[in-house]
Structure 1
Amino acid sequence: MSKASFSIEGFAAEPKQRTSQNGKRMLDISVAHTERRKNKQSGEWENATDRDGNEITLWARATFFDEQADLLAQQVAKGTLVRIEGMPRLNAYVDNSGTAKASIDVQFASLSIIPRASSGGSGGGSWAPAPQQSQGGFQGAQNDPGASGGGFDSAPF
């Protein structure tokens, strides 16, 4: 028996609320990761690219249901720094331009909101309060048989 785990920390894309065919409220929260490398010749940092010169961006999405979806919809907005953890499921798809791509669906996800330093004030060390979470993070099952939805499109969620 094996167990896979996955975590990603980053800024949330705009959360998407939806409802399944059987009335379950759902909230999709996505985070992107683009690897950066230092160009040895120019000394500048650049986004990593594949052999064809396309940027390599990994999207990870977690879906939360009902009360948890409602709670997170009030606390997570585009740009919120979050950490999502759970079991990875590879999602292969073709984007609108016909390019084959892949992303990660995070099943049985937990989400933590990470506090960030406030931008105002004089000097470092000042922290902005973050929304509170329940002990152990927010939990949400991803493999709900009543959930609609599926692949990712080429637009950032």
Structure 2
Amino acid sequence: MSINRVIISGNLTRDPELRSTASGMPVLGFGVAVNDRRKNQQTGEWEDYPNFIDCTMFGTRAQSLSQYLSKGTKVSIEGKLRWSQWERDGQKRSKIEVIVDELEFMSSRNSGAQQSGGYDAPAYSAPAPAYNAPAAPVIDASSSVYDEDIPF
């Protein structure tokens, strides 16, 4: 048995980009920044290091959410990891992204919206329609984790 689930909470790094597949299915692409807290070996201080994660959402929910998401919006997402590779200009490239199944707003679109007569972004946490993505290969993460990176 294998499990491919990820939960991430962070801020959008850019405005989302809404596209469509050849068959007309909406596809929403956006990035989320998540801080990783590590101890600086030279100063002994704890520091935040950002991780930038590409996210993709499919279907009509993606189209609906695109109007409420913008750079800086704090969100919590749940989904699965997908690894893909391609070739560009003779170079092989690859990336890991999160295929978003659920998205929840952690704050309103505009923090002061209630005072100025604005609105709160709706909370969409219902499961997204099933999308059969290619299975991600097993990646040995042990080679990139060192004892000094563990904060306890």
So what's the TM-score if we normalise by structure 2?
A: 0.61
**CA-CA distance at 1:130 after TM superposition:** 3.3
Whether 2:48 is the aligned partner of 1:63: answer no
- Structure-2 change in CA distance of 1:38 and 1:110 (3 Å): same
Aligned to 2:26: 25
Aligned to 2:70: 77
Identity, % of aligned positions:
28
Deviations for 1:74-96, whole angstroms, at most 9, x for unmatched residues?
11111111111022223457899
Letter in structure 2 aligned against 1:133: A
Whether 2:9 is the aligned partner of 1:9: answer yes
Distance between the aligned counterparts of 1:7 and 1:83, measured in 2? 7
SS at match of 1:74: coil
Whether 2:113 is the aligned partner of 1:113: answer no
Q: State how many pairs are aligned.
A: 127
Distance between the aligned counterparts of 2:71 and 2:22, measured in 1? 26
Deviations for 1:26-79, whole angstroms, at most 9, x for unmatched residues?
21232133524232433555455xxxxxxx7341412232x2122101111111
Gaps of 5+ in 2: 135-152
Gaps of 5+ in 1: 49-55, 121-127, 146-157
- Structure-2 change in CA distance of 1:100 and 1:20 (3 Å): closer
Letter in structure 1 aligned against 2:107: P
Pairwise CA RMSD: 3.7
SS at match of 2:29: strand
1:90-105 to structure 2, matched below 5 A, reads 90-91=83-84, 102-105=95-98
Q: Check the 8 A contact 1:114/1:130 in 2, yes or no.
A: no
Letter in structure 2 aligned against 1:75: Y
Whether 2:122 is the aligned partner of 1:132: answer yes
